[in-house]
């Protein structure tokens, strides 16, 4: 049950990040509010912790790498969007501050996920 709850929260956190990424372009179901800004890092972290606490060590490494990859992809998308906006290649439908938010959190949390995944996969040496 904890694994399912953790996976669901992690997915909801990543989807919140995707909604934030698409919002400046008018793509998505609605304009994300403060709740979405809070749920992106909140659900991502809580879901990750629940999932890894309930899982075995080998699964923890895999979950960390997958979550890290998804977060880095979100950050990469935000970086590309900021580049396109900064060079007037596309016109935003909303504020681009949200892209900086997704870029910063995606890089920080994604790199952390990769580091945890690598550390969890390596055997402990005495």
Domain ranges of the chain: 2-121
Strand, helix or coil for residue 80 = helix
pLDDT for the residue 48 = 92
Torsion sign (Cα): 13, 113, 20, 98: positive
pLDDT for the residue 74 = 95
Residue 47 pLDDT exceeds 80: yes
pLDDT for the residue 59 = 80
pTM, rounded to two decimals: 0.86
- What average pLDDT does range 1-23 have in this prediction? 91
- What is the distance between the alpha carbons of residues 17 and 24, in angstroms, rounded to a whole number? 12
Whole-number mean pLDDT of the chain?
87
pLDDT per residue as tens digits for the range 53-100: 887 767 888 888 899 999 999 999 999 999 999 898 888 777 889 999
Kindly state the percentage of the chain with pLDDT values over 70: 93
| Neighbouring C-beta atoms of residue 7, cutoff 10 Å | 17
pLDDT for the residue 53 = 87
Residue 125 pLDDT exceeds 70: no
Phi, psi for residue 87 in degrees, rounded to 5: -100, 15
pLDDT for the residue 92 = 79
pLDDT for the residue 126 = 58
């Amino acid at each position: 049950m904890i694994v399912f709850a953790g996976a669901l929260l992690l997915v909801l956190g990543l989807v919140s990040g995707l909604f934030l990424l698409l919002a400046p372009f008018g793509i998505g179901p609605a304009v994300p509010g403060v709740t979405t800004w809070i749920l992106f890092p909140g659900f991502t972290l809580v879901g990750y912790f629940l999932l890894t606490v309930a899982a075995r060590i080998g699964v923890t490494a895999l979950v960390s790498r997958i979550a890290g990859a998804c977060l880095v992809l979100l950050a990469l998308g935000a970086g590309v969007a900021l580049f396109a906006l900064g060079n007037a290649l596309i016109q935003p439908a909303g504020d681009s501050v949200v892209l900086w938010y997704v870029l910063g959190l995606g890089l920080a949390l994604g790199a952390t996920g990769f580091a945890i995944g690598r550390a969890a996969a390596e055997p402990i040496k005495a």
